[in-house]
A and B are shown apart, each in its own frame.
Chain A
Amino acid sequence: MTIPEQNAPVHTAGAAEESRPSLSALLLDPSFWADWASVVGLVGLVIVFGISQPVFLSIANLQALLLAAAILVVLSIGQTFVVATAGIDLSLAAAVMLGAIILGLVDAAGYGIFLACVLAVAATSAVGFLNGALITAGRIPDFVVTLGTLSGVTGLGLILSGGEPIMVGSTFLLRLASGSFGPFGYPVWVAISAVLVAHIALYHTRFGVHLLATGGQVESASALGIRTNRVKIAAYTISGFCAGIAALLLVARIGSAEPQINTSLLLNSVAAVVLGGVSLFGGRASILGPAIGALMLTALVNGLTLLSVSAFYQPLAVGAIVVLAALIMRYQK
């Protein structure tokens, strides 16, 4: 039996208190701003644009903003899963293009829009799986692999399409793009569902914990029997799947499959992830953060357009905000 003295608490020093810090302490803590960068940025932008251009806050504009943000939100979620494993998916926008091309080709060949959508998502998921397999089995750095698939997938898209845009006149996609349920258009609902599903996957499943463990300390995770390679492959496959969903939304939005990469989609997906407080070193992630980050970047472009600022300034503004967010992120605990 133990005697009370022996049973005394083992550790007394170095313990952090559980009580919540006061509001003023919270506001002075740089880590608070780092965690909530995307929310703070979004609120700031809404206030600034709302005052300088009241049209910004009109229902019609807000609905248009959300519609425009839906694609980026879905892509940012995919990127988040990869970044959480301390990786990066540079092939994301290329996969979107490939998905769109395949959708257009299968639809044009008369196999029906349903099969076209399924094959498009399957193809982008396969690209993600290939990324993951090359990174884990081939032991090649994520940066190199996804840069390679970025180029390879782009080439494949050009070869398949012959470099020509493919018109997609599907009523299903037209309804997806323009229809709405309640206050939001269908694409917004797609994005909201993606956020919900991804949030549950990250925070309420074993996969989510294993994903963060793999991104945090890969040796420790595998020492405890977590199959870290499988987790990484799954993360890249999810990223590819999200690219496929984004491809559907994109084709629905513009009515055709364009054989060109929207590089700003790739850069903005990484930017949204950084703004959302996800650590680029892995192990720390949220879904709401990047989603709001994507919303914020879209609001920035939307507001600047309303203020008649030349489109040439938009990349500059996005770049400045991302670097600023990354600087604040250094204070994240």
Chain B
Amino acid sequence: MSAVSHSPSADAILACEGLSKHFGGIRAFTDVAFQARRGEVTAVIGDNGAGKSTLIRCLVGVHVPDAGEIFFDGRLHPFANPDEARKAGIETVHQNLALIDELTVAQNLFLNREIVHRIGPLALLDRKAMKQQARAMLSRLSINMPSVSQRVRRLSGGQRQAISICRAAGSGAKLVVMDEPTAALGVQETANVEALIRRLREQAVSVILVSHNFDQVRRLSDQIWVMRAGRMVATVRSSETTGNELVALVTGAA
């Protein structure tokens, strides 16, 4: 831990302390302390309703917490909305992927950060540059896409997930947050997305991963945080834990 009290350790990309969120009388989570280390895959696990999705949404600015502090990249950083989090360098892979079916792969990868070249007062899209960079982004993560000019509608679930992750990682994000990235995928596609997450880690992108799948979490992550009934109850190194221990921590049997 760093010498300064009330601030997270220096190698944390994202951390929070004393975080609480209530919706009316319903307590989502209370007094949560959490941190994700730089360059690591940090997993958050817990049963349905344990509060992990709400916690993630607070961290990326979708919800504003009722109490507590959030630190990002060493600075106190409460985000009022997802756009602010995005500008600061947190990219979220949304559960619905946030892809536009009728647009092409390249258009989706550059949606709302299009490259333009200016001619006087006109700002025209530089489609060639976007296609080129889209190809580079995909190949950097070894995602095989026949054409970046293809409409997303025609892609499989795994390919769509890959594009969504690629968009999040490709924008120079410091931290990529993924909520159940393989929940709707088949066995082969899940393996592909897991390979993609490993590749992100190899490229020193920090990742926060929310998952139900304990085996997946042990395969992919460096550190695991366990939530139960709105509290952060434990944190373990993935290499030092077992599936049985995780089950016990999640259910409260330990």
Contacts and interface: CB of A to CB of B under 8 A. Distances in A.
A14 interface: yes
Given A18-B146, A209-B114, A223 B103 contact: no
Interface residues of A, number: 39
Contacts of B107: 209
Interface centre among B99, B103, B144, B154 (most CB of A within 10 A): B103
Interface string A216-239: 110111011110000000000000
B156 A216 contact: no
13 contacts: A10-B144, A10-B195, A205-B116, A206-B114, A206-B125, A209-B111, A212-B102, A212-B103, A215-B102, A219-B96, A220-B98, A220-B100, A333-B154
B18 to A, nearest CB: 28
A171 interface: no
A216 B86 contact: no
B142 A8 contact: yes
A14 B102 contact: no
Interface in B61-87: 82-83, 86
B162 A221 contact: no
A16 B150 contact: yes
Interface in A1-51: 1-2, 6-18
Contacts of B97: 220
A204 interface: yes
A283 B100 contact: yes
Interface stretch (B28-36, B196-204, B207-215, B217-225): B196-204
Interface in B113-145: 114, 116, 123-125, 127, 141-145
Nearest to A208: B125
A213 interface: yes
Contacts of B100: 212-213, 216-217, 220-221, 283
Interface in B83-111: 83, 86, 94, 96-103, 107, 111
Contact of A14 (B111, B127, B159): B159
Contacts of A11: 143-145, 156, 158-159, 162, 192
